[in-house]
Amino acid sequence: MKQLLFYFFILISSSVICQQRAHFSQWASHQMAINPAHSGIKKCIDVRGTTRGQWIGVEGSPISGVLTISAPLKIKRVKYLQARHGISGNVLYDKIGPFSEYKVQLGYAGHFNFTKDDRLSLGISSGVQQLNFDLALARPLDPDPVINGSASQIFPTATFGAWFNGKNYYGGLVFYDLIKNKWNTIGKNAESRVQSVLTGGYRFRINENLNLLPGLYVSYVKSAPIDFQVQTIMDIQSKFNIGLGYRNTDALILFLGTSLGSKMKMMYSFDFVLSKLGPSSFYSHELTFVFSPCRGFTSQNEGSPLFD
């Protein structure tokens, strides 16, 4: 058992470097969770929640969740295509082994249309995060003098995001952890680093009832391997979604989604683990719920480049 825990925490230590932020497969269905430029991008309130269990069955495996709410600021336009504005709030929870994180942020974004379809959005969010370490849950094989013991600290945090979309495409760029924080109470070298994420996607219209939505996610943080995910979602009659994805670090992903009436939607994803944990039948599950009172979900504004 001790050998299993030792091996597992070696994986965790590498994962913490690569996953400085909580990892989600359904980033395309929950853009607000990764990019503050989506604050108020739709013309109504938008509420989304995602929960993820990674490597289910492994003791101390990652558990993550994020809840976001986004709303436009109702400012009367004087001119056609005048800039719009929006606000947002998000709460994130992430736990992996003896480490846990709580984060609360408020965001603002401005949306600037060059044409009816071409739009640039710039957003920023800031708040606080609490990082915790429970030495009792680490259970090291031998005492480590570098680790000071259990600790909890609160830090300021800031994120900047940019988003550009046309009628059938989108691209986003985000920079996280703009405020450098050092977690001195846990060790000598525990600190945050700026992490960048690039996203992009396109909509291929097959016919009136069928759209293909390929997407790309690339994450980079200094001194860690590049993490990227590619996926293709098939939208059927604006009611059902099915797709496949691949993450270079560890997984093949299956996506299933359905509309729950005109104002709600649900998306489920299953990660088939391809890393060394795979043969032990440890898989990952993720679930996203969406509530939006806009005029129903259509292939033109949900899961595609356009967010009306």
Task: Say if 166 falls within a structural domain.
Answer: yes
How many beta carbons lie within 10 A of that of residue 194, not counting itself? 14
Q: Which residues of the chain have pLDDT under 50?
A: 1-19, 297-308
Task: Say if 120 falls within a structural domain.
Answer: yes
Question: Tokens in use for 144?
Answer: 């480590």
Domain holding 149, by residue range, is: 2-291
**Whole-angstrom distance, CA of residue 266 vs CA of residue 260:** 7
pLDDT, tens only, 78-128: 677 788 999 999 999 999 888 889 999 999 999 999 988 899 999 999 999
pLDDT at residue 12, as a whole number: 39
Q: Tell me, what DSSP letter sits at residue 229?
A: E
pLDDT, tens only, 134-169: 777 776 666 555 555 677 889 999 999 999 999 899
pLDDT at residue 19, as a whole number: 42
Task: Say if 305 falls within a structural domain.
Answer: no
pLDDT at residue 153, as a whole number: 86
Q: What's the 3-state SS for 184-225?
A: CCCCCCCECCCEEEEEEEECEEEECCEEEEEEEEEEEECCCC
pLDDT at residue 304, as a whole number: 41
Task: Say if 296 falls within a structural domain.
Answer: no
Task: Say if 299 falls within a structural domain.
Answer: no
Asked if residues 170 and 164 have their Cβ atoms less than 8 Å apart, the reply is yes
Domain count, the chain: 1
Task: Say if 308 falls within a structural domain.
Answer: no
Please give the model's pTM, rounded to 2 decimal places: 0.83
Task: Say if 304 falls within a structural domain.
Answer: no
Could you tell me which of 170, 225, 226 has the C-alpha nearest to residue 197?
Answer: 226
Task: Say if 29 falls within a structural domain.
Answer: yes
**Whole-angstrom distance, CA of residue 17 vs CA of residue 222:** 9
For the domain that residue 50 is a member of, what is the CATH number? 2.40.160.40
